[in-house]
Chains A and B, each alone.
Chain A
Amino acid sequence: MNPSIKLLLLFIIALEISFTTIISLNIALVILATLYLLWRRTSLKTLGWLLIVPLLPAIGLWSTQYINGTGDNAQMAWVLFTRIYAFVFTGATFTLTTDILELADALEQNWHLPAKFAYGVLAAYNLVPKIQHEVKVIRMAGLMRGQTLSFWSPKLYFKAILVSINWSQNLAQAMQSHGFVEDAPRTHYRHVPLRASDWSILVIGIGLLQIGAFAIPWR
C-alpha cells in the first residue's frame, strides 16, 4: 500500500478517536491492528512490547480520571486507557511495516514534497547511531572535566547544537558533491505507485470508522 495514503488514513483515525469516547471502538481498532501486524509477521515479542510500553502512561491517565474526574469517571477512565492502546497499535501498523525511505519516496513522488526536505531528514536520520554515541562523548567530556551534564544543563545542548551545525554543513556539502541540487528535477529509481486501490482503502477505511463511531450502538 502507498505509504503516504497509509499514513493519512492512520492520521485520520488517530485524530477521530481523540474526539470520540467509545471504549469498544478503541478495542476494535487494537484488535484490527493486531491482526494486521500478525499478518505482516510481527513477532510476538514486539507485540508484547507494544502492550507493556504504554502501560504506565495509560494507568496515569486512567487513575487521574478515575479519582479526579467528573461525571461518569469510570467510563472516561477506560476510554482514555483504551485510547492510548489504540494510538500505539494503529501507529505501529505504520512504523513497524514502513521504513522512512519508503515514506520519503512517496512524499517526494506523489505529493511533490521538495527533495531537500525528504533527503535532508533522511540524511540526518541515518546519523542516529552516531548521534547517540556523540551524546555519550559530550557527557564523557564533561565528566572528565569534573562536570556532570544533565538534561537541564545548557552546556549539553550547546555542545549538541555545535556538533549539529558542523555535521549539517558537512552533510549538505557531501550531498551536493553527490550531485544533489536544491529545487532541481531528479529521476526516480524506486517508483512509488499511487493506485486507485490505495484511494479505495482510504475511503473505505474512513467510511468504516464513521460507522464504528456513529452507527453501531456500542459504547
Chain B
Amino acid sequence: MKWAKSWYLSDVILLALIGIFFGAIFMGTNYVYDVLTAALSPIGLGGLANELLLGLWCMPGMLAGYMLRLKGSATLGELLAATVEMFFGGQWGIATLISGIVQGFGAELGYIVTRYKHYDWLGLTASAATTTIVTFGWDLARNGYYKLQLWLLILYFVVRFISMFVFGGLLTRLITDMLDRSHVLKSSHSN
C-alpha cells in the first residue's frame, strides 16, 4: 500500500475525469471508424481503421504518465478511463477493461525502460513503441493476427506505431506544452 499513498484523492479524480473527457471526445470519432471499416472490409483490410485510431484510445495512459510523472500513472490513467468507459459506453463490457490494462501497461513500460527520467521525446517515443509492441502482442492472440499474412502484419504494426506516435506522442507533447506554458500543472499536485 506504500505505492497507493503517493496518490492524492485529487489525482485519482483528475485521471478519471481526463479519461471521461477524452472518451467523450473520442465518441465523435466513431463515424471515422465505421466508414473506414465498411470501406476496407471488402478487401480484407477492415482492421486498418482500428490500427489508425488506436493511438487515440491509448492517449489517456501515455498522457497521464507524461503529465503526472508518478509511478503507475500511465497504467492507472488508462485503467480508470477503461473502468468508467466499461460502465458508460457499456457494450464492450469486460473487454474494455482488459484492453485498458494491456494499453496502460504498454504505455507504462515506455516510462519504466527510460527509468521515469525521460519526460521528453525519448520517453514519449519509448512509450509509443512499448504501447505498440504490447498491444500488438495481445492482438496476435485476441484478434487472431498470428494467422495473418506477414505483409499485412507488418503493415498493421507500422500503422499502429504511427498512430501511437502521432496521438500518444505528438499530440500529447503539444497538449502538455500548452499546459506547461499556462503554469497550471504544478499547482495541481501540491494540495
Contact = CB atoms under 8 A, between A and B. Distances in A.
Complex: A in contact with B (CB within 8 Å): yes
Interface string B1-13: 1001101111111
Interface of B: 1, 4-5, 7-14, 16-22, 24-26, 28-29, 33-34, 37-38, 40-47, 49-50, 56, 63, 67, 80, 83-84, 86-88, 90-98, 141-144, 147-149, 152, 167, 171, 174-175, 178-179, 182, 184-185, 188, 191
29 contacts: A54-B91, A56-B37, A57-B46, A59-B41, A60-B41, A63-B42, A64-B44, A64-B45, A67-B43, A68-B45, A68-B148, A73-B147, A90-B93, A90-B94, A91-B91, A96-B90, A116-B8, A117-B7, A121-B80, A124-B84, A151-B56, A154-B174, A157-B21, A158-B182, A164-B14, A168-B10, A168-B11, A172-B10, A180-B9
Interface string A88-128: 10111111100110000000000000101101110111011
Contacts of B90: 92, 95-96
A76 interface: yes
A83 B94 CA distance: 13
Contacts of B25: 135, 151, 156-157, 160
Contacts of B5: 183
A88 B13 contact: no
A95 B147 contact: no
Contacts of A175: 9
B91 A64 contact: no
Interface of A is mostly: helix
B87 A64 contact: no
B54 to A, nearest CB: 12
Contacts of B14: 164-165, 168
Given A56-B34, A120-B16, A163-B21, A80 B143 contact: yes
Contact of A56 (B38, B83, B185): B38
